[in-house]
Structure 1
């Protein structure tokens, strides 16, 4: 057999003196083949370098065994962990993952959807830019099930798995601001997406529960660089520039809540430069529990996001949707808990 030729089921069968049907059943793990015969066939297939023909298999099963995963920015620690969980869960189920990155660009998102349509994936897990939610309708119209991740697009009839962001922010702010806090700032991203809206809503609800007038607190928008290329979605210096212009010894909040831990890095620097200290003068609460959070001085209190749980739940839901396209829409929001460290006193 020439090395340039693809090894087939028939080649494996001929070497062992078995039928191609027996070899096929053995490699598929069917019960009709004894364990001893199955082991012998698998060993010979491996020795010959046999690789299943996925195209032929998809013609029989009607499935490509490929799942699309659309992410805004894989350098975001949350999405990096989510990607690993999705790939691991899909691999266990016999699926491959096609990863596409949008950088929160509307054009990139549309190109990603078109690529998924051309690839004929069995299903899609996607984080929407929320610029044009109708772009995802093309997948649904083609009969490709979609599970939205992290950002929910109401009214589109798609399954959703994410985090209860509003409750997470509300609970954390109330907890760390119970005593000695009358003025709170939220440093938020300047994106018009559901997660930003949820954080803002949770923050304002916390102010109400604490009896703090909204006029005494601020929601400040930090410029984001998500659409400028495949870099970190946030930069500490963006938050630093904003905070350094506002925080002075005579004019500062009691607590700063940041939309991510990178913003907290910039806030730390701005607080120190004006002669104040964390947490004695200003408490700081982050979001995301990124790997460096516990190593800052003082260690950063932050909200830990269940990225792996989101990825695992999303794959499970998508596989159920693939098996049963008519099942009712499901929306799942997982809990994110506060990790209290020294930055909040």
Structure 2
């Protein structure tokens, strides 16, 4: 599988040495080796020296000619998202397509469905097809591995979520700040027991929104009750079941913050089924202002993300990497906006 030559082409003297072997010898990730070889300023001097020592010891020589031919040969960008049914991602991909098309690139979309195995298969396909670059919404902050792309020098930019185990560019919103603002809005409406329906906490997005909710409670001087936080896994059914659990509490919430749009659909269905009115019985706030696209009531207060802008900026960043432009690792954090509507306003 490793096809990056280590010695001079045609010489037949030196066996192939791959980035993975260099990484193993240096005790670092293949992504870190790529950063060192591309003269990234984000690698510490100690790691850089270990990598360069391994390069010298193994006799590794990156085949810049082959890398250049690969870049010229493909004009395809891969986009691997975590849930194709979520309008957030489809709106974001529109921003990707517009920028890619203007630059002469095509886009191939893959749905990992929050499944690490499916995600890995798509990453391997992107590597085998020698795609120019990949935009990735990782299923896990710690378990997702992009080594298969790093070995081949294929650049990656993560969107909506970050990877903790790799030094890559990313574009996302300030989830912590947005969730804190939404929680404080519910406090301002008189809510004192605010339920929170969390997403996948193995992602930086899910963890960031939960941390923002708790920060909002602390800022308001309210306790963070364990029973008021229920995971809905970013799914409609999960949102419905989580809401049912919260409504079954002896002292049920007077406010509810749902941390993505799909779970908000499930939450509204559960509230309607139980005959619980919002905002009279419970003040409701969602995350992702995509309610009309989901045939959900448009009067729901929600955090609105700049979905198109996320896709646009991430693609522009990826194309700079594809072109070989050297620059330090970029982290772009965009602001989200709380759009206040009837579902959370109390007299």
Match in the other structure for 1:265: 265
The superposition leaves residues 53-86 of structure 1 with CA deviations (integer Å, 9 ceiling, x where unpaired) of xxxxx95973412111111222211110111211
1:324 maps to 2:334: no
Q: CA deviation at 1:291?
A: 3.5
Check 1:133–1:304 CA distance in 2 against 1; reply closer, same or farther (3 A cut).
Answer: same
User: Aligned partners of 1:173, 1:106: CA distance in 2, in Å?
Assistant: 31
Contiguous gaps of at least 5 residues in structure 1: 1-57, 225-232
Q: CA deviation at 1:137?
A: 1.8
Q: CA deviation at 1:303?
A: 0.7
Q: CA deviation at 1:302?
A: 0.5
**What TM-score do the two structures reach when normalised by structure 1?**
0.73
1:170 maps to 2:180: yes
**Aligned ranges 1:72-221 → 2 under 5 Å:** 72-130=82-140, 133=143, 135-215=145-225, 218-221=228-231
Check 1:293–1:312 CA distance in 2 against 1; reply closer, same or farther (3 A cut).
Answer: closer
Q: CA deviation at 1:266?
A: 3.3
Larger deviation: 63-72 or 213-222?
Answer: 213-222
Match in the other structure for 2:301: 301
Q: CA deviation at 1:314?
A: 0.4
Q: State the superposition RMSD in angstroms.
A: 2.6
Confirm or deny: 8 A CA contact 2:191 2:283 kept in the other structure.
Answer: no
Is the partner of 1:110 in helix, strand or coil?
helix
Check 1:147–1:293 CA distance in 2 against 1; reply closer, same or farther (3 A cut).
Answer: closer
1:71 maps to 2:81: yes
Q: How many residues are aligned here? A: 278
User: Aligned partners of 1:249, 1:328: CA distance in 2, in Å?
Assistant: 50
1:342 maps to 2:342: yes
The superposition leaves residues 103-141 of structure 1 with CA deviations (integer Å, 9 ceiling, x where unpaired) of 121211111111111111111111111276462022122
User: Aligned partners of 2:293, 2:98: CA distance in 1, in Å?
Assistant: 26
User: Aligned partners of 1:309, 1:249: CA distance in 2, in Å?
Assistant: 40
**Aligned ranges 1:20-59 → 2 under 5 Å:** none
Match in the other structure for 1:46: none
User: Aligned partners of 2:253, 2:246: CA distance in 1, in Å?
Assistant: 10
Is the partner of 2:146 in helix, strand or coil?
helix
Check 1:272–1:248 CA distance in 2 against 1; reply closer, same or farther (3 A cut).
Answer: farther
Match in the other structure for 1:313: 313
User: Aligned partners of 2:131, 2:249: CA distance in 1, in Å?
Assistant: 57
The superposition leaves residues 159-216 of structure 1 with CA deviations (integer Å, 9 ceiling, x where unpaired) of 1111111111111221232241211010112452111100100000000011111138
Contiguous gaps of at least 5 residues in structure 2: 1-67
User: Aligned partners of 1:268, 1:60: CA distance in 2, in Å?
Assistant: 49
1:253 maps to 2:216: no
Check 1:297–1:193 CA distance in 2 against 1; reply closer, same or farther (3 A cut).
Answer: closer
User: Aligned partners of 1:134, 1:304: CA distance in 2, in Å?
Assistant: 27
The superposition leaves residues 227-259 of structure 1 with CA deviations (integer Å, 9 ceiling, x where unpaired) of xxxxxx622x44333323442697321210002
Match in the other structure for 1:234: 235
Q: CA deviation at 1:324?
A: 3.4
**What TM-score do the two structures reach when normalised by structure 2?**
0.73
Confirm or deny: 8 A CA contact 2:196 2:230 kept in the other structure.
Answer: yes
The superposition leaves residues 19-43 of structure 1 with CA deviations (integer Å, 9 ceiling, x where unpaired) of xxxxxxxxxxxxxxxxxxxxxxxxx
Determine which structure has more spread, i.e. the larger CA radius of gyration. 1
User: Aligned partners of 1:75, 1:60: CA distance in 2, in Å?
Assistant: 33
Q: CA deviation at 1:285?
A: 0.3
Match in the other structure for 1:39: none
The superposition leaves residues 319-341 of structure 1 with CA deviations (integer Å, 9 ceiling, x where unpaired) of 11222353100001111111111
Larger deviation: 64-73 or 317-326?
Answer: 317-326
Is the partner of 1:67 in helix, strand or coil?
strand
